[in-house]
Amino acid sequence: MTAYGPHPSQVVDFHGPADAPVRVTLLHGGYWRERYDRTYLVPLARALAGPGARVALAEYRRVGGGGGWPATFDDVAQVVRSASGGRHVLLGHSAGGHLALWAAARLPGIDHVVAVAPVADLARARELALSDGAVDELLGGRYRPEADPMRLPAPECTVTLVHGTADTDVPVELSRRYARAVPHAVLRELDGVDHFAPVTPGTEACETVLKTVRGAP
């Protein structure tokens, strides 16, 4: 575990060799709330890591623990900027998928963003009051277009979204809306797949994510 700031949540766990040619920055979900942390993505980080990839599983300040606007976004930006050497893939799940799309629209040095079941449209998520108003919690009670990937310039890097059609935590509608708004974004819908299968190693859905990150067809 490596700290990138003084707050207890400003840490990164690294998996894989330091000299690997691919850097994967991995952002977890949990609707940006303190009670959810990076630990559920440890199996995915280990599945991705190997001779070809070094994975940085990042923690960040979250709502209820010093996070929210703008602290959560500042932490993600700092983690993404710290990646160096080789091809950089930014991978996020759920709320982490939102943060990955936001970072890809704002920061240089990203070659491919892979957003899995992302909260890709904050305005629509707010309208739907997803997770009991999580968007308002994140943004301090008012909509901020500068935090919404749908209102930012399209990322210049490759953009892939992976979303299960049976996801009841983050509706696939949000990824469909983003894919329509960003012409070069590719949406891979997984029929009948729920929210967590794509980040659970051993599932067919997760194999799709692993292949996507590794650049396989």
Between β-strands 186-190 and 158-164, what pairing exists: parallel, antiparallel or unpaired?
parallel
Residue 178 predicted with pLDDT over 90: yes
CB 80 within 8 A of CB 126: no
CA atoms within 13 A on the CB side of 100: 34
Q: Return left, alpha or beta for 66; rule: phi > 0 is left, psi -120 to 50 is alpha, else beta.
A: left
What digits encode the pLDDT tens for the residues 11-24? 999 999 999 999 99
Domain spans of the chain?
A: 2-214
Per-residue pLDDT tens for 124-177? 999 999 999 999 999 999 999 999 999 999 999 999 999 999 999 999 999 999
Return the number of other C-beta atoms located less than 10 Å from residue 32's C-beta.
27
CB within 8 A of 58, min separation 6: which ones? 11, 12, 25, 26, 27, 28, 38, 75, 76, 79
Residue 84: predicted pLDDT: 83
Q: Using 50, 70 and 90 to split pLDDT, how confident is the model at 217?
A: low
**pLDDT for residue 121:** 98
pLDDT of residue 152: 98
What is the pLDDT, as a whole number, of residue 172? 98
> Among 127, 73, 83, 138, which Cα is nearest to 105's?
73
Write down the pLDDT at residue 85: 83
How far CA 200 is from CA of 13, 19, 32, 34, in Å, comes to 18, 26, 20, 22
In this prediction the pTM is: 0.97
Span 192-215, average pLDDT:
97
Output the pLDDT for position 13.
Answer: 98
- Would you state the pLDDT for residue 109? 95
127 compared with 217, residue with greater pLDDT = 127
Q: Helix, strand or coil for residue 56? A: strand
pLDDT in tens, 33-87: 999 999 999 999 999 999 899 999 999 999 999 999 999 999 999 999 999 888 9
pLDDT score, position 59: 98
Strand-pair category, 2-3 with 87-93 = unpaired
**Domain 2-214 adopts which CATH fold?**
Rossmann fold (3.40.50)
